[in-house]
Amino acid sequence: MNYPKQKINDSGLAFTPLLAKQYDDLILRRKRNKPAGVVVDGIPGTGKTTHIVHAINYFNKAFNKPVTTIGGVQFSAGAKEFTKKIEDCYDAGLPTMMYDEAGDFSSGRTQSRLNHELNTLFQRARQYNIIILMALPTTLYLDKRAWSGIPRFLVHLDARIDHENKKDDYVKGSVYDAKKVSKLYKYYKDSKETFPWEIYRKEIPNFHIITYDLPKKQAKELELWSMTAKRRLSAETRGLITYNDVEEQLKKSRIWIYKKVKELAIMPEKTVKKIKYFKPEIINQLAEVTN
């Protein structure tokens, strides 16, 4: 299989070999039909999704599957897309997929929604025997009880090291097992820190890691996918809906909906990659036409 050329260390891996051993444990758990997953967190720009691409390819290679396609079936942003794609991953026999939840989760309301959705997603992951790679701003916004389910350890990325030669760029990070993550939660609960990322310094990690950047072409593809995903998630969290949602609620054909939207001059609030997002009021507007 043609795995892409990329900056690697002496072991031939795109990340620290000791982390590869941790991932090998997840591979073994999947073979034994046991739930498996990892949380990758860090402030924006530390390469969470970049590292997850490396991890996906590591798992794919272990199960004789092809190199992942950026933005393809193994990539999901938000619960809605995850729910759609996990079945496709299962049908294709793919061992793993990414759940990326980019956004601001500092408020109690958004944290509550995130935890509710993840409980449902964890159940699906168990059902389909998929290794879940979760990209989050910080694991400390998760309900602590989530760590009794799918996640086995935390990969925390904290600093990007840039060089004049971009091929030598890498990110530093640390790995914490579930017991150490539990201590992080305690520190966070007892702390008055505004930024939860300061908490990680209070606990010595199991070991430190570095992870390299992707090849230039893949990096650009990933950046485009991430930007599009964030804009889509932003629209969804604002309560905006798509033509698919309208069709499902009104039980009308797409052609009928298009025609009425044009007749009533209903304008979308936002368009992301040709997908139009409308205010929920569109349902009432179109429902009145049907009566």
Mean pLDDT of the 257-275 span: 85
For the stretch 149-198, pLDDT in tens is 789 999 999 888 876 666 667 899 999 999 999 999 999 888 876 667 78
pTM: 0.79
The residue whose two tokens read 């991953």 is 89
**Cα dist from 178 to 21, 82, 150, whole Å:** 16, 24, 11
**Which residue did the predictor score with more confidence, 249 or 120?**
249
Give percent of the chain above pLDDT 90. Answer: 39
Residue 273 above 70 pLDDT?
no
Residue 10 above 60 pLDDT?
no
For the stretch 14-62, pLDDT in tens is 999 999 999 999 999 999 999 899 999 998 888 999 999 999 999 999 9
Check if the beta carbon of residue 47 is closer than 8 Å to that of residue 161.
no
Neighbours of 224 (CB within 10 A): 13
For the stretch 24-35, pLDDT in tens is 999 999 999 998
What backbone torsions phi and psi does residue 151 show, to the nearest 5 degrees?
Answer: -60, 135
Residue 4 above 60 pLDDT?
no
Residue 103 above 60 pLDDT?
no
**Cα dist from 203 to 16, 36, 135, 198, 200, whole Å:** 20, 24, 21, 10, 6
Domain ranges (residues) in the chain = 17-237, 243-290
The residue whose two tokens read 């599009």 is 228
pLDDT for the residue 278: 85
Is the domain covering 17-237 a CATH 3.40.367.20 domain?
A: no
19: closest CA among 207, 148, 196? 207
Residue 109 above 50 pLDDT?
no
pLDDT for the residue 144: 81
pLDDT for the residue 184: 93
pLDDT for the residue 20: 94
Residue 11 above 60 pLDDT?
no
For the stretch 216-244, pLDDT in tens is 899 999 998 888 887 777 776 667 778 88
- What is the residue-averaged pLDDT of the chain? 83
Report residue 5's pLDDT band, with 50, 70 and 90 as the boundaries. very low
